[in-house]
Structure 1
Amino acid sequence: MTLLSVLLLTLVALACVWLVTEPLRARTPDDPDAAQRAQLSAERDRLYADLAALTDEARRPDLERRAALTLRGLDALPPAPQARRGTRTLALGLLGGAALLTAVGAVTFVPRWQLASLNASEAANVQAVLRLPALKAQAQRSGTKEAYLAWGKAAFDSNTFDQAVTAYGNALKLDPRQPEALRRLGILLLTRGEQTGQAISAEEAQQAALLIRTGAQLAPNDPESQLLLGFALARFGEDRDALSALERYRTLDPKGRDADDLITALRARLNTSDPGLRVYAASCASCHGPSGGGGIGPSLRESTLTRAALSAVITQGKGAMPAYPNLKPEELAALLNVLEGWQRETQ
């Protein structure tokens, strides 16, 4: 919890103490806003109770919005007059309730206010970390593969890799044919050197690769299967197979961008003999396909544009296609030679 959160909770606690101990300090006239204050307080307490017992997360945003409006309404009321004598018990009871509500707020509202300042990925990681203790306890208590998989997924998504290895390992003991557990455990073992600074042996690397391959065979149409398979193959120098797996990943998940840099690097390594193909691999293949057959962008093999028109589109851009004005003349000429060659092949 950040320093700002601690200060906020301290202020909330002090405000609660001040308000609920008002009846202890002096005798004053009746509160003219008593009815409205009681109604808002009852609504606040009911919403807090609903939040504390919430099982359907889809309802949380609405409940939190209503709770915030209720608190705002309470804050807008003038301070309550001091209570009459004889209300000490009530005041002390309210003080205990305020302490409880402050504790509830510490684990519900404040973390969610903090999440509002994060992007979607960062917020998801924080939420995964917050769920880890409960998921770990549930898995250890129930011992089911479903519970271990849920724990492993939250740990993996939050980069808590030691827990992910434990959770997925236990899940595979219960059922060795689980693609997610196989591929994720494999990639964690394969990249353990980067995580710990300790190199893994060749035998361990082969075992990790086997886990990833098995996971991909069991779920060939899962984008993550092909993504992790591509990364593993690239580490073993199997560039063509790695590129094939990563291209399939992009086909299965057109919005996936996790492999863009590696795909570009693999294409460049595979096309070093032809300068035109090298330029194409670095600048064009991610949209138009590895061989110009189309992908996010149209097929270049079926294009009927002239050399001059192709040159204009490449250097100036058109529609969704970006411009590449910084290509050297020899690079542009080599790329145009490749594109014209593809056009002749389809005529």
Structure 2
Amino acid sequence: MIFGLTLFVLVVLAALWLVVQPLRGSVPADPDAPERARLTAERDRLYAELSNLPDEARRPDFERRAALTLRSLDALPPAPPPRERGGRTRTLALTGLALAALVTAAGAVTLVPRWQLASLGAGEAQDVRDVLALPGLRRKAEATGDKGAYLAWGRAAFDSARYAQAVIAYGNALKLDPRQPEALRRLGILLLTRPDAQGQGAQQPSPEEARQAFRLIQAAAGLAPNEPESQLLLGFALARFGQDQGALTALERYRTLDPRGRDADELITAIRARQNETDPGLGVYAANCASCHGPNGQGGLGPNLRASTLSREALRGVIVNGKGAMPAYPNLKPDELNALLDVLERWQKEGQ
């Protein structure tokens, strides 16, 4: 009884604090609001054009511009909360306070059975629901032998980190229909990483198992190239096999398809760091050129270097002396300049 009353008082006090916060004064305006609005409008425009693009040959250019816009948005500091709006805000806050107190009291008195789930974050609560649903989903799949039922079981098992069940469910779904991108890529990544039943740690697959897993992920990306998870898992698989450039391309595409997705950020950073360490020319490029010409030389504020037809000596002259809006870099050491020119010539041969 004492514990229940204590909990009730704590929850009420927390509700009071959260709701009264808006009454404590206004918040400074967002100094980056015009730039944030411009970049958001540009992002939305590019996505609209990508979704209705009549000429597929233009898709890489639009995707590159969208990725650059996203990176610019990411670089802005977080926007402050909205500014207060006088009496109306105070009235709403007080109304919210009354409602919060009422709901809290009702929950404490009636002992709402779901209070424990409500204390979790949205993702954690969904994981709990998925785990609770697994036995029923498994029974339904095994009783009906339906492809959709196996996919539902596999999805719930995968999302709640019950990977052993996910392998069984997705494997059975693929027996019924081998052209299922979700089942292919998720089964592939599970075989490649080999997590244990609780999702902790990983076993090393044999070379043949790894190749088979890679083929599954590639097949899924071929069947559903515009699904963000296809590109995400393809990027992880390519990085696992040391194909950093291909991995970076897939992960950048994932970021274009899912602007809010952040699952690839650490791997993208690690790949770029690896490239800069192993190739001194890329390090020079990242430090001096990437901000204008893009991380892979495909253009941004400056032109696309992969489409350049300048000779090595002409490139050297532009870098050392500058040209037009491009500044000069006369202080580059000879070995740094030669390493940078090697990168630019290689990109010219690779093309766009």
Aligned pair partner of 1:157 in 151, 156, 159: 159
How many percent of aligned residue pairs carry the same amino acid?
59
Q: Using CA pairs under 8 Å that are at least 6 residues apart, name the structure with larger relative contact order, 1 or 2.
A: 2
CA distance in 2, matches of 1:144, 1:286: 52
CA distance in 1, matches of 2:291, 2:230: 20
Which residue of the partner structure matches residue 140 of structure 2? 138
Cα distance change of structure 1 residues 283 and 258 upon mapping to structure 2, 3 Å threshold? farther
What is the CA RMSD across the aligned residues, in angstroms? 4.4
Q: Could you tell me how far 1:197 is from its partner in structure 2?
A: 4.8
For the 8 Å contact 2:193–2:202, the answer to whether it is kept is no
Aligned pair partner of 2:212 in 203, 207, 213: 207
Structure 1: 5+ residue runs without aligned partners?
1-6, 12-65, 77-100, 311-328
CA distance in 1, matches of 2:251, 2:142: 36
For the 8 Å contact 2:189–2:217, the answer to whether it is kept is yes
Name the TM-score, length of structure 1 as normaliser.
Answer: 0.53
For the 8 Å contact 1:293–1:299, the answer to whether it is kept is no
CA distance in 2, matches of 1:305, 1:289: 16
CA distance in 2, matches of 1:260, 1:285: 18
Q: Could you tell me how far 1:330 is from its partner in structure 2?
A: 8.1
Secondary structure of 1:258's counterpart equals: coil
Structure 2: 5+ residue runs without aligned partners?
8-98, 305-322
Cα distance change of structure 1 residues 245 and 235 upon mapping to structure 2, 3 Å threshold? same
Q: Could you tell me how far 1:127 is from its partner in structure 2?
A: 2.8
Aligned pair partner of 2:283 in 274, 278, 281: 278
Which residue of the partner structure matches residue 128 of structure 2? 126
CA distance in 2, matches of 1:74, 1:233: 50
1:262 and 2:267 matched: yes
Which residue of the partner structure matches residue 247 of structure 1? 252
CA distance in 1, matches of 2:287, 2:138: 44
Cα distance change of structure 1 residues 190 and 70 upon mapping to structure 2, 3 Å threshold? closer
Cα distance change of structure 1 residues 137 and 307 upon mapping to structure 2, 3 Å threshold? same
For the 8 Å contact 1:182–1:212, the answer to whether it is kept is yes
Greater Cα offset, 214-223 or 254-263: 254-263
For the 8 Å contact 1:172–1:178, the answer to whether it is kept is yes
Aligned pair partner of 2:227 in 199, 222, 227: 222
Q: Could you tell me how far 1:173 is from its partner in structure 2?
A: 1.0
Task: Name the amino acid aligned to 2:186.
Answer: R
Cα distance change of structure 1 residues 178 and 275 upon mapping to structure 2, 3 Å threshold? same
Name the TM-score, length of structure 2 as normaliser.
Answer: 0.52
For the 8 Å contact 2:235–2:246, the answer to whether it is kept is yes
Output aligned runs, 1:1-347, within 5 Å: 72=105, 106=113, 109-115=114-120, 118=121, 120-192=122-194, 195=200, 197-272=202-277, 275=280, 277-278=282-283, 281=286, 289-293=294-298, 299-301=301-303, 307=327
Q: Could you tell me how far 1:258 is from its partner in structure 2?
A: 1.2
Cα distance change of structure 1 residues 283 and 198 upon mapping to structure 2, 3 Å threshold? farther
Task: Name the amino acid aligned to 1:172.
Answer: L
For the 8 Å contact 2:150–2:170, the answer to whether it is kept is yes
